[in-house]
Amino acid sequence: MHPILKLLVQRIALGLLLLLAVSAVIFLGVEALPGDTAQAILGQQATPEALANLREKMGLNEPPLTRYFQWLGGILTGDLGKALTNGADIAQSIGQRLGNTLFLAGCAAAISVPLAILLGLTAARHAGKWPDKVISGITLTTISLPEFVAAYFVIYIFTQLIPIFQPVAMVFPGMTFWAKLNAVALPVIVLVLVVLAHMMRMTRAAILNVMQSAYIETAELKGLSPMTVIWRHAFPNAIAPVVSVVMLNMAYLVVGVVVVEVVFGYNALGQYLVDHVTKRDLPVVQAVGLIFAAVYIFLNMLADIIGILANPRLRHPK
């Protein structure tokens, strides 16, 4: 088998095994949540008989191991089950909200990734000088703010001082693309502020590391401009670590935006997860958690594969 194909197969198999392990951790974590689902549905005034009947109806009296394999079997066949609190099909409910999550993540990534690479290249070009210090200082300031603080700060600026956006990101079927962009503008700004520094600093560090190579000195001796040397010679050879950090932040934009979605009332997976955690709706929490884990593992695996293809030393480990 070709070395590249062998490495790809190994990474994919490892990703699937990791996802299986994560599914068990998610199930155990959800089982350990305090409270009782039947009690949350029927309320504090429910009789013991009513609680027992509801637990029996929902299958909560089955042993945990049995319920885990039943849930896993359903996942493998594409059946995510039904929500305990309202009986809605979980796959359909998630499908409606997953599109909103991906739209928000895509808008944030479309702004943050090119901007981070551009700022990283600029900071590397002027390393140690005032542009580098200004860029590093601003990005370090934004990354130091907790998400909810940055969210309320952005809300105050763009709804009070400069009232051009609405504080609640309301999206619904039938909205035009531009109307959706206007609705998600504030959460997109917050997410860009949060993820920009990671990608910028990794781009800067990777470029500066490559700039110490002999072939960069050769390119400079040919009379090429500093930016041309960075863009044509340094950046392509620094792409692997940059792609890795970009993929990590892409994963964050999909699975780590629960706080932002809750603050802005955005109807997506994060809000859906929080709503059902409070109700202790186990199948919903398990399904959303597994989707988040699958996205995170897939993007990390994709970054690993791109790094292997971009680096000859990884393509030929021997």
Q: How buried is 47 (Cβ within 10 angstroms: 0-12 exposed, 13-18 middle, 19+ buried)?
A: exposed
Mean predicted lDDT score pLDDT of the chain? 81
Rg of the chain over Cα atoms, rounded to whole angstroms, equals 24
Q: What is the pLDDT of residue 213?
A: 77
DSSP-derived letter for residue 27 is: H
Q: How buried is 305 (Cβ within 10 angstroms: 0-12 exposed, 13-18 middle, 19+ buried)?
A: middle
Q: What is the pLDDT of residue 317?
A: 52
CA-angle at 155, arms to 152 and 157, nearest 5° = 110
Q: What is the pLDDT of residue 110?
A: 92
CATH 1.10.2020.10 at 91-280, yes or no: no
The answer to whether 54 touches 42, Cβ cutoff 8 Å, is: yes
Q: How many CB atoms lie within 10 A of CB 135?
A: 20
Confidence of residue 125 (pLDDT cuts 50, 70, 90): confident
Of 35-49, 59-73, 76-90, the least confident? 35-49
The answer to whether 102 touches 94, Cβ cutoff 8 Å, is: no
Q: What is the pLDDT of residue 40?
A: 67
Q: Return the domain boundaries, the chain.
A: 91-280
- Judged against a pLDDT cut of 60, whether residue 170 lies above it is answered with yes
Q: How many CB atoms lie within 10 A of CB 277?
A: 18
Q: What is the pLDDT of residue 67?
A: 80
- Judged against a pLDDT cut of 70, whether residue 177 lies above it is answered with yes
Q: Kindly state the average pLDDT of the residues 287-314.
A: 79
Confidence of residue 198 (pLDDT cuts 50, 70, 90): confident
The answer to whether 41 touches 278, Cβ cutoff 8 Å, is: no
Provide the H-helix boundaries in the chain: 3-31, 37-42, 48-58, 64-76, 90-125, 130-144, 147-156, 177-183, 185-210, 214-221, 226-229, 235-237, 239-255, 258-264, 269-278, 282-310, 312-315
Q: Kindly state the average pLDDT of the residues 215-239.
A: 78
Choose among 236, 277, 273: nearest CA to 254.
273
Of 88-92, 97-101, 209-213, 278-282, the least confident? 278-282
Q: Kindly state the average pLDDT of the residues 95-112.
A: 88
Q: Kindly state the average pLDDT of the residues 263-278.
A: 83
**% residues pLDDT > 90 (the chain):** 3
